[in-house]
Chain A
């Protein structure tokens, strides 16, 4: 008796299988929890620090102080953790050889990648919303009483929180696809660290000439900055930035699909 397995049936099966795998991988839980705690703790620390030393800051700095930007400063580092999260979903399978079992169960490799992407995107969105919103609330509570502070109702605040969450979600997806391309945890982590942590520091110091203005704002880290930072004079507008970043992810996805098809497991 040959059952005809429809695409939707297979897709649901793959999704279920990937969900079980993701929810049972301890390294993912640890990294995810770590990312959440890191974001909230760092926001707390920074804002508490500003609360404590507000008077020592000096008039100029006090005037220039941006409560939301300061609070969400951890978004310059968190992309590394979220990217690693995405990468681990794939590189852990390559590392242990589990990937062969996965492709044996589901020879339609694009479907497997799609299922992983759906889960990383969905879980990433939930985790990033909780992290950024949580960090925001904790941080603003710390600032209150001494420094200017904001609430979610303040114009621009909710947008920054959502933008930040979107940024982290997109980096998680980027991490997944980088993982597919390089297949090794070490290389994926190094690449993500290089792109999101080191590159921005390097290019920031360059003179902002014509060449700079046409290249640097389109780097992933700078696009991400546009999504949540208030000072966007040299950067791309938030909406185009988000679309462009999503475009990068799609390009990575296409490359990943192509390679998956051709390579051995």
Chain B
């Protein structure tokens, strides 16, 4: 199979997935919700800090991070984006559409890869834009006594761009979990379990144990991408965290791929 033929096939599958993505109401709706949450969340939190600045202790005021605060909407948005990823696959299984899709594109690895690429590209473009918007809006709140950051500050640009990257990784994690579980409730359960419940559970454990495991959980590791300063001494640095997170996503994706090729549909 010549390279040109392969490229043609991949392009065709990409066009098909693009049409599918935008032809159902729920996708733009969920994406909108995620973007709104990122932008508005940062704004609201920023306003909250501005109005309550005086009541903060000097220590808290000193450790205040304006970039981090303006990006915190990302924490909520990851729910929507991940659910989108799960549904991108499980939706097809639920209706049985997956059979038609695989009849049109029997090369399952290609289909899965293209789905990931299309979803990833869309999420990355939109969420990165939202992160920058959230940053700008948030900083506009921090006039007066509260410090505000600029994109030139140390780690700031990386954190803001990291917000978009992190959300992309989350969407891909959802996609992989959806492909692994092939059922909407199970996929969502796996996704929320890994990203939300696991850190909370670990947080309940006595300090020594929790602190040691915590930084290596997927959500925690990936979040270092959009944190300016690591939250605790045991946290991974932004690039190590990103690397570990990418590893988790890749592992889930690889497992999904292996099963996809071996299973009946």
Classify A-B as touching or not with yes or no (CB < 8 A).
yes
Cα A10 to Cα B189 with chains together (Å): 37
Across the interface, do B206 and A50 meet the contact criterion of CB distance under 8 Å?
Answer: yes
Given contacts A198-B79, A207-B55, contact A80 B197 (CB under 8 A): yes
Given contacts A207-B56, A209-B54, contact A202 B185 (CB under 8 A): no
CB neighbours of B209 from chain A (8 A): 49, 53
CB neighbours of B75 from chain A (8 A): 198, 201-202
- Chain A residues 52 to 104 lying within 8 A of chain B, measured CB to CB, are 52-53, 56-57, 61, 70, 73-74, 76-77, 80, 88
Across the interface, do B196 and A207 meet the contact criterion of CB distance under 8 Å?
Answer: no
Across the interface, do A202 and B204 meet the contact criterion of CB distance under 8 Å?
Answer: no
Across the interface, do A49 and B206 meet the contact criterion of CB distance under 8 Å?
Answer: yes
Interface size on A, residues (CB 8 A): 36
Across the interface, do A202 and B87 meet the contact criterion of CB distance under 8 Å?
Answer: no
Across the interface, do A73 and B204 meet the contact criterion of CB distance under 8 Å?
Answer: yes
Stretch of A173-181, A183-191, A254-262 lying at the B interface: A183-191
Chain A residue with Cβ nearest B183: A27
A141 within 8 A of B: no
Residue with the greatest number of chain A CB neighbours at <10 A, chosen from B87, B192, B196, B206: B206
| Residue in A193, A199, A202, A210 whose beta carbon sits within 8 Å of that of B52 in the complex | A210
B171 within 8 A of A: no
Across the interface, do B208 and A194 meet the contact criterion of CB distance under 8 Å?
Answer: no
B258 within 8 A of A: no
CB neighbours of B53 from chain A (8 A): 207, 209
B160 within 8 A of A: no
B41 within 8 A of A: yes
CB neighbours of B196 from chain A (8 A): 80, 193, 197-198
| Residue in A46, A185, A208 whose beta carbon sits within 8 Å of that of B206 in the complex | A46
Across the interface, do A208 and B52 meet the contact criterion of CB distance under 8 Å?
Answer: yes
A5 within 8 A of B: no
Chain B residue with Cβ nearest A45: B205
- Chain B residues 208 to 251 lying within 8 A of chain A, measured CB to CB, are 208-209
B200 within 8 A of A: yes
CB neighbours of B56 from chain A (8 A): 207, 209
Chain B residue with Cβ nearest A50: B206
A42 within 8 A of B: yes
B184 within 8 A of A: yes
Chain B nearest Cβ from A249, distance in angstroms: 22
Across the interface, do B184 and A185 meet the contact criterion of CB distance under 8 Å?
Answer: yes
B60 within 8 A of A: yes
Across the interface, do B208 and A56 meet the contact criterion of CB distance under 8 Å?
Answer: yes
Across the interface, do B60 and A207 meet the contact criterion of CB distance under 8 Å?
Answer: yes
B89 within 8 A of A: no
CB neighbours of B207 from chain A (8 A): 57, 61
Across the interface, do B49 and A207 meet the contact criterion of CB distance under 8 Å?
Answer: yes
CB neighbours of A52 from chain B (8 A): 206
CB neighbours of B197 from chain A (8 A): 77, 80, 197
Given contacts A27-B185, A189-B192, A198-B76, contact A209 B55 (CB under 8 A): yes
A206 within 8 A of B: yes
- Chain A residues 1 to 34 lying within 8 A of chain B, measured CB to CB, are 27
Cα A128 to Cα B192 with chains together (Å): 21
Cα A61 to Cα B211 with chains together (Å): 15
* B→A interface (CB under 8 Å): 41, 45, 48-49, 51-56, 60, 72, 75-76, 79-80, 83, 86-87, 184-185, 188, 192, 196-197, 200-201, 204-209
User: Given contacts A186-B86, A193-B79, could you give 17 more A-B pairs where the C-beta distance is less than 8 Å?
Assistant: A42-B201, A46-B205, A49-B206, A53-B208, A56-B208, A76-B200, A189-B185, A189-B192, A190-B80, A193-B196, A194-B76, A197-B200, A198-B76, A198-B196, A210-B52, A210-B55, A212-B48
The 9 sampled A-B contact pairs (Cβ below 8 Å) are A45-B205, A49-B209, A53-B208, A61-B207, A88-B185, A193-B192, A202-B72, A207-B48, A209-B51
